[in-house]
């Protein structure tokens, strides 16, 4: 048996709600001799079912999914399938989400604008047990560990919890309280509590200011 034929092929599950993106990722990964895509999913529920069915070595996860946040998927997989490594790829700002991804159980973050070689390097690094972040983000987190992040250098939105940020984004996408509650499987009262917390943390006076601020933030995202 040759070295190439005995090489272990890592099993990858792609989770992204955009079919074109899934197709592109599958092609890039499938061209690698040491990687194979065993399944694709577009939602949290679909992904959880495929984890049990296909037992992937690594999940490549987008943050924005059809039925919720990739952060929530990270948490659920960590609780039920701790052996599965997870890598996030997203268009969202790494400085706002990378640390949240790590806390939720992810092992790295790759911006979707990164070169293909960076993504493949990140996949292999995470499969080997490492953590992948951009050099700038790694330096930022190290600065926080060593001396604490200066308050003035942090975006006010970074004060929000993961769930508050999720609600904030949905407000910015035009969803009302009832729709957000249904999407997250929570009560309208709970969502109103999140709205109040967001207003307080962002120093906003009323619902109109909250909506304007959220819409502007969403529009500024890549």
Among 18-27, 37-46, 111-120, 207-216, which stretch is predicted with the lowest mean pLDDT?
207-216
Residue 195, token pair as written in the block = 């709205």
The domain boundary, picked from 115, 143, 171, lies at 143
Same domain, 138 and 165: no
Residues 14 and 72 occupy one common structural domain:
yes
Q: Please, which pLDDT band fits residue 216 given cuts at 50, 70 and 90?
A: confident
Per the prediction, the chain carries an average pLDDT of: 88
Report which of 152, 149, 151, 162 is spatially closest to residue 197, judged by C-alpha positions. Answer: 162
For 78, the token pair is 């960590």
Q: Which of 5-9, 54-58, 89-93 has the highest mean pLDDT?
A: 54-58
**Which of 84-98, 139-153, 192-206 has the lowest average pLDDT?**
139-153
If asked whether residues 135 and 51 sit together in one domain, one would say: yes
Residue given tokens 């500024």 in the structure block = 220
Query: Which of 196, 132, 197 lies closest to 160, judged by CA?
Result: 197
Domain of 165: which CATH number?
1.10.10.10
Three-class SS string for the chain?
CCHHHHCCCEEEEEECCCHHHHHHHHHHHHCCCCEEEEEEECCHHHHHHHHHHHCCCEEEECCEECCEEHHHHHHHHHHHCCCCEEEEEECCCHHHHHHHHHHHCCCEEEECCCCHHHHHHHHHHHHCCCCECCHHHHHHHHHHHHHCCCHHHCCHHHHCCHHHHHHHHHHHCCCCHHHHHHHHCCCHHHHHHHHHHHHHHCCCCCHHHHHHHHHHHHHHCC
Split into its structural domains, the chain has a count of 2
Closest by Cα among 97, 57, 98, 99 to 77 = 57
22 with 129, same domain: the answer is yes
Contact 13, 51 (CB under 8 A): yes
Beta bridge partners of 68: 65
Residue 148 belongs to a domain: no
CATH number at residue 53: 3.40.50.2300
Using CA atoms, how far residue 140 sits from 95, 109, 148, in Å, is 8, 14, 10
Q: What is the pLDDT of residue 191?
A: 92
Q: Which domain holds residue 181?
A: 155-220
Per-residue model confidence (pLDDT) at position 106: 94
Residue where a domain terminates, one of 118, 143, 168: 143
Residue 24's pLDDT is: 94
Contacts of 176 (CB under 8 A, 6+ apart): none
């Amino acid at each position: 048996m040759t070295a190439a034929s005995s090489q272990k092929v890592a099993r990858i599950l792609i989770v992204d709600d955009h079919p074109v993106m899934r197709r592109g990722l599958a092609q890039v990964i499938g061209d690698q001799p040491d990687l194979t895509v065993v399944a694709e999913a577009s939602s949290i529920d679909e992904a959880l079912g495929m984890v049990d069915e296909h037992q992937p070595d690594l999940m490549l996860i987008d943050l924005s999914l059809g039925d919720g946040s990739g952060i929530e998927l990270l948490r659920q997989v960590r609780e039920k399938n701790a052996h599965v490594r997870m890598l996030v790829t997203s268009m969202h700002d790494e400085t706002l989400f990378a640390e949240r991804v790590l806390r939720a159980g992810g092992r790295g973050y790759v911006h979707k604008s990164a070169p293909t070689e960076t993504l493949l390097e990140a996949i292999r690094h995470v499969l080997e047990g490492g953590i992948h972040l951009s050099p700038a983000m790694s330096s930022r987190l190290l600065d926080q560990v060593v001396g604490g992040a200066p308050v003035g250098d942090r975006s006010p939105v970074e004060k929000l919890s993961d769930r508050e940020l999720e609600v904030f984004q949905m407000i910015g996408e035009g969803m009302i309280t009832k729709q957000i509650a249904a999407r997250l499987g929570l009560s309208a009262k709970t969502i109103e509590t999140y709205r109040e917390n967001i207003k307080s943390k962002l120093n906003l006076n009323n619902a109109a200011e909250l909506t304007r601020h959220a819409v502007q933030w969403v529009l500024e995202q890549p």
